[in-house]
Amino acid sequence: MNFVLEPVNPKKVNLLDLDRKGLAAFFVGLGEKPFRATQLLKWIYQEDVQDFDLMSNLSKSLRAYLTENCVIETPEIVVEQIASDATRKWVMQTHCGNRVETVFIPEEGRGTLCVSSQIGCALACTFCSTAQQGFNRNLSTAEIIGQVFVAQKRLGTTAKITNVVMMGMGEPLLNFDNVVAAMNLMMDDFTYGLSKRRVTISTSGVVPAMYRLTEVCDVSLAVSLHAVRDELRDELVPINKKYPLKELMEACRDNAKIAPRRTVTFEYVMLAGVNDSMDDARGLLKLLKTVPAKINLIPFNPFPGSSYRCSSKDTMNQFKALLNDAGIVTTIRKTRGEDIDAACGQLVGQVQDKSRRHLKLTNAGSNHVA
Ligand code: SAH
């Protein structure tokens, strides 16, 4: 065997950072055949073997090289909470000491894992508690796929992860390459083999990245809409100032073209007296007239310090009925894991804020003039 690659830096390569394509290139760089990639994926993800010495279909010298130069490293579960409805939340610690949260939602016939993409979030959606944490950094591919790996291992044979939603902490499209590599990994036949209909990425509307995604990765798309007028959306989802509704809708239409009968799911958080009038519902119909859409209404989940209230059950039902009657499939998201703060928008982890958001908010809120 002819090793042409010396590790560039003394730090070992974390093999969970590489999807099949990346691994194939890695092995070719070592003078190996590209199919070593699928062998390795199978060992790691399907056979749960992390000791390179036990990977019996790799040559002895390759095993020795991997032992010397590579690691299989995941985030580590430091807290596990199980809600009364059996939803589980794990706090996972990354090597840098920050913590992110991952949630498993068991349902009849399926198990959905809600995965984080960043430590904190750089966006400042006013109704989301992750936003209040500020931002530290993007998660690596290993830290994203590692959440699936660790969660499935922890669940063992008691439950299977059948669906993944990139709806945990962070804006996945602002960590494009690592998120796409991790999603490719989840869908790989040699790992978990999830179908593209069972992997969903949710975005607040990073329009240029939405076009890129349509081109390179066919997964289900969910868009956090939350308002049908630019003026209100500017306030709730501030990235709207950069990419307003008209541009967002155009990107959604583009994504829907990937395949016939494909739909985009629009998430709409129900905020009492803010975005929940029948006029808003009619506005939603108008906005989505030319996009193949489904709507998912999300009851607002409060968190300490939040000033919004959730719309009443009656209002949510009327809102839903108006949309359904007009022919758009509309559901109200069942709130899960509320008693352990695992519901949408409640994930906080532990973030060493580098964006100094906290400072900015404090200053903005004080009367002090420098
Ligand atoms: N940043 C991405 C991924 C987060 S997904 C995005 O914005 O889509 C989490 C979903 O929960 C998003 O639709 C988000 O807007 C919504 N959400 C955030 N805070 C919430 C809260 N307090 N109550 C209900 N839903 C919330």
| Per-residue confidence (pLDDT) for residue 103, from 0 to 100 | 96
User: Is the CB of 266 within 6 Å of ligand 1?
Assistant: no
Q: How many structural domains are present in the chain? A: 2
Average pLDDT over residues 324-340: 93
Distance CA 17, CA 22 (A): 8
Tell me which of 326 and 370 has the higher pLDDT: 326
Structural tokens at position 176: 């494009």
Q: Is residue 4 part of a domain?
A: no
Task: Say what the pTM is.
Answer: 0.92
- Quick one: 87 and 66 in the same domain? no
Task: In whole angstroms, give the CA distance from residue 170 to residue 140.
Answer: 13
Instruction: Please give the Cα distance from 59 to 61 (Å, whole number).
Output: 5
User: Do 126 and 233 sit in the same domain of this protein?
Assistant: yes
In a domain, 327, yes or no: yes
What are the pLDDT digits (tens) for 131-163? 988 999 999 999 999 999 999 999 999 999 999
Residue 141 sits in a domain whose CATH number is 3.20.20.70
> Ligand 1 center to residue 3 CA distance, Å?
47
| Cβ–Cβ under 8 Å, residues 119 and 136 | yes
For ligand 1, say whether the CB of 205 is within 6 Å of any of its atoms: no
- Nearest one of 369, 364, 359, 344 to 116, comparing CA atoms: 344
**Does residue 360 register a pLDDT over 70?**
no
The residues facing 296 across adjacent strands are: 267, 331
Domain annotation covers residue 325 = yes
Backbone angles phi, psi at 113, to 5 degrees: -105, 125
Confidence (pLDDT) at 9: 43
pLDDT digit string, tens, across residues 39-90: 999 999 999 999 999 999 999 999 999 999 999 999 999 999 999 999 999 9
Q: How confident is the model at residue 351 (pLDDT cuts 50, 70, 90)?
A: confident
Provide the residue range defining the domain that includes 237. 76-364
Ligand 1 atom nearest 222 alpha carbon: 8
Transcribe 155-217 into DSSP letters: HTTS----EEEE-SSS-GGGGHHHHHHHHHHHH-TTTT---GGGEEEEES--HHHHHHHHHH-
Average pLDDT over residues 92-103: 92
CA of 154 to the centre of ligand 1 (A): 26
Query: Which of 31, 50, 71 is the C-terminal boundary of a domain?
Result: 71
User: Do the domain assignments include residue 370?
Assistant: no
